[in-house]
Amino acid sequence: MKRVIFHELKRVDEALKAIAGYVRTMPVERAGLLAAYGRVLAEDVYAPIDVPPFDRATMDGFAVRAEDTYGAHDESPRVLRLVGAVDAGDEAAGEVNPGEAVEVATGAPLPRGADAVVMVEYTSTRNGHVYVYRSVVPGENVLHTGSDIMLGELVLRRCTVLGPREIGVLAALGMDAVPVYRPPRVAVISTGNELVPPGQRLGPGKVYDINAYTISSSLMSLGAEPHYLGIVRDDEEEIRRAVDGAASSHDLVLLSGGTSAGLADLTYRVLEELGPPGIIVHGLKVKPGKPTVVSVTRGGTLVVGLPGYPSSALVIFHLVVAPILRMMTCRGPEKEAEVEAVLASRIEGGRGRRTLYPVSLVETPRGLMAYPLSAESGAITTVARADGYLEIHENVEYLEEGEKVSVRLFSGYRPAEMHVIGSHDIALDRILVGAGVAAKTINVGSFGGLEAVRRGDADIAGIHLLDEETGTYNVPFLEGRGIRNAVLVGGYLREQVLMFPRGNPKGISGIRDLLRGDIIIVNRQRGTGTRMLLDSHLRRLAREIGVTFEELTGRIRGYWSEAKTHTAVAAAVAQGRADVGVGIRYAADMYGLDHITIGWERYDFLVNTASLNRPALARFLEYLRGGARDVIADLPGYRPLDDMGAIVWEPGM
């Protein structure tokens, strides 16, 4: 089977221009006020009445002629004869003549002859008279007819999205239904032999179908009506039947997967045959999302082939599908909210393609910092944790740390109570929950966390750095880097293990067994505390057998196979891709693996001294000294330290 090659990549703006000529506007229907929420107005709305429809009091008090109150004060009140009362909802009967007043409630119509309302707080009544202690001017405390909305006024324009405020305006005008565009009916189809619906058991090589749910949710957020049609296998005829059926009964069809240049990618072949005109966009100059395909069926239905990787699919939905939906329902282009920030670390460009890089925002004394997150297409949590994204243009090779960047927000940015930047740990997650702290966590490793605290970006960093010369954790690195704006707070111990399948089929007894030719290992990535601990053992072993460290590691199969998480190590062993892994015992237990302990590492908290007065940090430290001990004691492979929650190092100690 031939691989498809994307010869004519388009910029996103070029692609949207090509697509616009094929977008069909949705038909108009009438919807009741509650049903109209979130819908798009199809016609201009002109006010059929004045709002309010009469002059009305805005305060409880007395309707008067303003001139009758002039000169009134506490020692010399103006005395008016009380001639009636009008409540809200009453008809404004009677008339206010010179020297008279009518009692009125808030919202009551203003009686004939009155031109102001004296608040009840500035009056008293005795023997059928009102004593006025403060003068008013004409129009005071009165809402005049049409002062809110005037009869015949253009109130809402066509193409307005109807939210709570707009619905309130329509209700004020007495309108019980309005013309709106019918929501686009959008078919959602997932393709791929590897996909399994959530709720079913995962078999070997299978993954859960994420895109069906992220895409459907995104459609609902834009007022569209998603119809999930299920998972279609990588079979050309099956895909063709699914697309043909969907296109005949929907306004738009979205497929995810099968759009790249791989041998099993069949979607593009089906989309080629839908026309004429068939495929109108075949690849975008953007990363992630290059293998995006847009086709038009003979009947005129747009079909968009999205990338299969979840974060890529969401990015392309945001860039391509959302504008299509807006054109269908007259929403028009929406300008994304943007904020200015400073880049926290260097990132690479896309070498000729526009790169969309997700970032997490952190408020610091130096201003808003943008921390780049993993840009891997398959990482759904990257988008979930990101506040927005920045663009790197095609001709830019990289953006350097400290550069000012513009971040396009996915939604409104809300600052966190506390920023935790450093090495991730499952026990830390539980401590934050127990302390009741709504923290933003950014996992950049121990060294990254140390630097984030040093710069003032982080309130806390979890660190576990082993100094091989002294055999101690963390403190030598703080002194070596001249940390002056932080203290180290005691944490807990984590059990580091060699993990292997239940029953130990390869007879693993220790570090020396990693040199065996029949053993494949999976390691942690460079810079992690776990990797540093293993390397410490291996250097000791190298000295014992009289070889260099490089010679020793060269004999270990899989030494350079690096996993980014402890559970990734455990999964590789559980799935048979490796015989031994190095990581924390908790991960081994989660995957039902046996293990041998190779050490207990100290996991401490580097705390920014400038943040010590923050209430969230105070709650965290208080919980660390108290209830967190029970949390740690209950986790397999964890032990609380005696100095947990206490300052164990500070500059000058």
Per-residue model confidence as pLDDT tens digits over 371-390: 888 655 445 656 667 888 88
Every domain of the chain with CATH number 3.40.980.10 lies at: 12-25+184-328
For the 338-415 domain, the top CATH level (class) is: mainly beta
Q: Say if residue 51's pLDDT is above 90.
A: no
- pTM of the shown model: 0.72
Q: How confident is the model at residue 312 (pLDDT cuts 50, 70, 90)?
A: confident
The larger pLDDT score, comparing residue 367 to residue 519, is at: 519
Those residues whose C-beta lies under 8 Å from the C-beta of residue 335, and which sit 6 or more positions away, are none
Q: Exposed, middle or buried: residue 367 (CB in 10 Å: 0-12, 13-18, 19+)?
A: exposed
**Which residue spans of the chain are classified as CATH 3.40.190.290?**
439-649
Which residues of the chain form CATH 3.90.105.10? 28-51+148-181
Partner residues linked to 79 by β-bridges: 131
Mapped onto helix, strand or coil, the DSSP state of residue 179 is: strand
Strands (E), 212-333: 225-232, 252-256, 278-282, 286-287, 293-296, 302-306
Residue 424 has pLDDT above 90, yes or no: no
CA distance 215 to 212: 6
Residues of the chain with CATH 2.40.340.10: 338-415
| pLDDT number for residue 261 | 45
91-105, 362-376, 479-493, 556-570, range with the lowest pLDDT: 362-376
Fold of 28-51+148-181: Molybdopterin biosynthesis moea protein, domain 2 (3.90.105)
Distances from the Cα of 507 to the Cαs of 71, 375, 499, 502, in angstroms? 103, 39, 12, 11
- For domain 56-143, which architecture applies? Beta Complex (2.170)
* 609-634 tens-digit pLDDT: 999 989 999 999 999 999 999 999 99
Architecture of domain 12-25+184-328: 3-Layer(aba) Sandwich (3.40)
CB atoms within 10 A of CB 568: 16
Q: First CA to last CA across the chain, in angstroms?
A: 68
Q: Which residues pair with 409 in a beta bridge?
A: 388
| 439-649: CATH, from 3.60.15.10, 3.20.20.140, 3.40.50.20, 3.40.190.290 | 3.40.190.290
Comparing 407-411, 482-486, 516-520, 597-601, the range with the smallest average pLDDT is 407-411
